[in-house]
Chains A and B, each alone.
Chain A
């Protein structure tokens, strides 16, 4: 074995060339044992391609990766590793005509199902029904039970909260934190910044197949700042700028800007205005891209790419992160 440090996932120059586009472009990063690693990027950035490379479903054009010590290019090594691996794909390909019960039985017969009953108390798909009758949330819960029921050491999840209602999403994130605390490593792919922020220890940001950032969630958010929206009682021509304000836009009585400074400084500054409404929100994913990782040309692209992501990005984050104050 190599003397170098080995993580649970070691990605080394991993590249997938589809001819016209690079699905993964020279990716190098390590996922440490026992952490929740957020893999963040807009749709089409190459997250699923990377995951499918890690699972040996795609052959790398160049570079490689090790998953639980197994080279992804070596099928027999990888099969051994898969005994300790759980995978929740973005598109759950369950047999529509089978019941949930039968599907769990099938996967259990191949991979083991020691924690099945325990998980079914937490996630409750209607097992006796055929999967074609399932809502997307039920399907996702069945997928979660399948992913964790053999008590894997590493879990790779592609958009795991999709289809779940906010309550179930919260339950899942809580469950993932508990899993991490008992030593499970979790690779969490998502395009929703707010959920990554709440559950991940570190985050890698993927854009057009390239890793554009790899850092702690806290420092990422500090750099991204907050999105502030103000509504004033009177139209204000000159909103006095303070430190940390960027992207200031004024439209009549509405003012929006990105803020990276201290809350107290902002609040005392606002006290001099007649504020009707204020919202302080998570920065949108594309905002982080635009301000910190994109050049002028790419900004336009990122904005266009992000249009479709935007709604989904905001929706789940709206409740817990928006503070509304009447001044």
Chain B
């Protein structure tokens, strides 16, 4: 493994009156997309603010590229670390290109004049984020998804080894979320930058992130490859306090954690089986091997008790309820 870009040593974060989390010993590798997950109140935002230097740590140290973060001058820090925030930026008449060029602020002279090198970096950032097409548009003419891509381009133009994104997908619709996550994953690979994003998007983070940082409400912390965290139960632990049950099998939260209705034995093809089980759980059925009532899932139909065939889950549910009433 290469030298980590960012490490923390016994970092405690929080506010004067209250410690939120710690001691944290984190590390961030170049070229990786890391997702920071946790329920509300676990301290995700506090950690992001602390790592980005906007807020002082209670104790412990943050090392960025071998230097202590707190000792860096503002301009030096701005050349190593850039931000994308949740808030919708309202900068009126700024054109996309001008906004991205603001990312060059730590490099320009006192008047903010752009050199040829600055222009090149801006072009590069626009191209990498696929925002060239609307470089001449103004901010109000962009969709929320386009806006966040532009803010990401601005962070890229800042030319830092580390990019922090604080819930960048919060205001986006599903396609924009997926697109942004995929873009971030590609960027980390292509540019060798380390990208850390905090998010509530469990599914997407599980799929796109190389590493996850999990913060629990009780101050617990776990770091690892997403799939490892699922298998070793870290996910369940981080979210236990929220009253939901995390299903290792599907990587999702159970809306109906423990059905108490009639038992059904469910067998058959994996794909349709998954969706059939979901429907049964929603209706309150338990799925248990060896139950008297059996449902066999076949490629294009469902066989109840080995005798009655139906062709949709709706028909299946109706048939099951009819049979149970008859008993």
Are A and B subunits of one complex? no
